[in-house]
C-alpha cells in the first residue's frame, strides 16, 4: 500500500540514456512550466504543484532540481534580464537615429513575441513592486537607460530629431511594445483574434515605428544635407 508503482520504467527517464540528457530536458521543461505559471499568477499565486504538473514531474523533483520556489523564480528573472541586456547592445552617436530607433522597436517587439511568458513574468514582478528586482532597476537598467538617453540627447542637439525627453521616449517605446505581450488577452479579446499572426506583428511594428519616429521628428541621416 505504501508503494504501488512499478519498480522500473518510472519517472521521465524511461530507458537508460547516458549522461545528463534527461537532466537537461527536465530542467528545460521545469523552467518553461514555471515561467508560464509565475507569469499567470505572480510569485505568491504560483504553486510548485502547478509547475510540476505542467512539467510532467512530481513536485519533489522540481525542488530537487531547483532547490526552492524562490531560487527558481530568481533564476527565471535572471534569464529574462540576460535576454533584455542583449538588446541594442552597441549604439553610438554616429549611428543613424531612424535606423537605431526602428531596430529598438523591432527587437523589443520580437522579444515580447518570442518570450511572451518571460515578458509577462517580468511585468508581474514590476506590478508587484519589484521586490526581487529593485537592485537591478536602480543599477544596471538605470545605467542602460541613462547611456541611451544621452545618445538621444546628442542626436537632438545635432538636429537629427526633436528635443524630446529621452527617458520618456524610451518608456513610450517600452510600454507600446511590452503591451502586446502583457495585455495579449485584451488585444485578442478586443480585436476578436485567436492569436497575433506574423503579419499582425509586422503591421504593428511598422505602425509604431512610423508614428514614434514621425512624432519625434526623426530625420534619417540620409535626409539631412549637412553634418
Partner DNA sequence: TTAAATGCTGACCGTTCGGTCAGGATGTTT
Partner DNA sequence: AAACATCCTGACCGAACGGTCAGCATTTAA
Neighbour-count burial for 30-45, b at 16+ CB within 10 Å, e otherwise = bbbbbbbbbbeebbee
Sign of CA pseudo-dihedral 76, 78, 82, 83: positive
In the list DNA, its own copies, none, the entry touching 167 (Cβ below 5 to 8 angstroms by class) is: its own copies
Using the rule CB under 8 A, is 159 a contact of its own copies?
no
Please tell me what DSSP assigns to residue 223: G
Using the rule CB under 7 A, is 19 a contact of DNA?
yes
Using the rule CB under 8 A, is 42 a contact of its own copies?
yes
Closest to its own copies by CB, 26 or 181: 181
Residue pair 166/153 in contact by the 8 Å Cβ criterion: yes
* CA gyration radius, the chain: 22
Using the rule CB under 7 A, is 13 a contact of DNA?
yes
Using a 10 angstrom Cβ sphere, with 0-12 exposed, 13-18 middle and 19 or more buried, the burial of residue 73 is buried
Q: Could you tell me the three cell numbers for 71?
A: 531560487
**CB atoms inside a 10 Å sphere around CB 118:** 25
In the list DNA, its own copies, none, the entry touching 94 (Cβ below 5 to 8 angstroms by class) is: none
- Rule CB under 7 A: which of 138-177 touch DNA? none
CB of 145 to its own copies, least distance (A): 5
Contact with DNA (CB under 7 A) among 64, 207, 215, 220:
64
Select the span of 23-31, 80-88, 104-112, 117-125 touching its own copies (CB under 8 A). Answer: 117-125
In the list its own copies, DNA, none, the entry touching 87 (Cβ below 5 to 8 angstroms by class) is: none
Closest to DNA by CB, 5 or 92: 5
Residue pair 38/49 in contact by the 8 Å Cβ criterion: no
**CB atoms inside a 10 Å sphere around CB 186:** 11
End-to-end CA distance of the chain: 83
Using the rule CB under 7 A, is 131 a contact of DNA?
no
Using the rule CB under 7 A, is 92 a contact of DNA?
no
Q: Nearest 5°: phi and psi at 87?
A: -80, 130
Residues forming the site for DNA (CB under 7 A)? 1-5, 7-13, 16-20, 22-23, 26, 46-50, 57-61, 63-65, 68-70
Residues forming the site for its own copies (CB under 8 A)? 39-46, 120, 123-124, 126-130, 134, 137-138, 141-142, 145, 164-165, 167-169, 171-172, 174-176, 178-180, 182-183, 185-187, 189-192, 203-204, 207-208, 210-217
Amino acid at each position: 500500500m505504501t508503494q504501488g508503482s512499478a519498480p522500473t520504467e518510472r519517472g521521465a527517464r524511461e530507458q537508460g540514456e547516458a549522461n545528463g540528457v534527461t537532466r537537461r530536458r527536465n530542467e528545460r521543461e521545469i523552467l518553461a512550466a514555471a515561467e508560464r505559471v509565475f507569469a499567470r499568477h505572480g510569485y505568491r499565486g504560483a504553486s510548485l504543484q502547478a509547475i510540476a504538473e505542467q512539467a510532467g514531474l512530481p513536485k519533489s523533483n522540481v525542488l530537487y532540481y531547483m532547490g526552492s520556489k524562490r531560487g527558481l523564480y530568481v533564476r527565471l528573472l535572471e534569464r529574462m534580464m540576460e535576454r533584455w541586456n542583449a538588446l541594442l547592445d552597441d549604439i553610438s552617436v554616429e549611428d543613424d537615429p531612424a535606423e537605431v530607433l526602428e531596430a529598438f522597436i523591432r527587437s523589443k517587439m520580437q522579444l515580447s513575441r518570442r518570450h511572451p511568458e518571460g515578458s509577462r513574468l517580468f511585468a508581474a514582478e514590476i506590478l508587484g513592486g519589484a521586490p526581487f528586482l529593485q537592485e537591478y532597476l536602480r543599477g544596471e537598467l538605470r545605467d542602460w537607460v541613462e547611456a541611451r538617453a544621452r545618445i538621444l540627447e546628442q542626436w537632438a542637439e545635432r538636429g537629427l530629431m526633436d528635443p524630446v525627453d529621452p527617458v520618456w521616449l524610451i518608456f513610450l517605446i517600452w510600454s507600446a511594445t511590452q503591451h502586446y505581450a502583457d495585455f495579449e488577452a485584451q488585444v485578442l479579446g478586443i480585436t476578436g483574434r485567436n492569436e497575433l499572426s506574423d503579419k499582425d506583428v509586422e503591421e504593428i511594428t511598422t505602425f509604431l515605428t512610423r508614428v514614434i519616429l514621425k512624432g519625434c521628428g526623426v530625420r534619417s541621416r540620409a535626409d539631412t544635407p549637412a553634418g
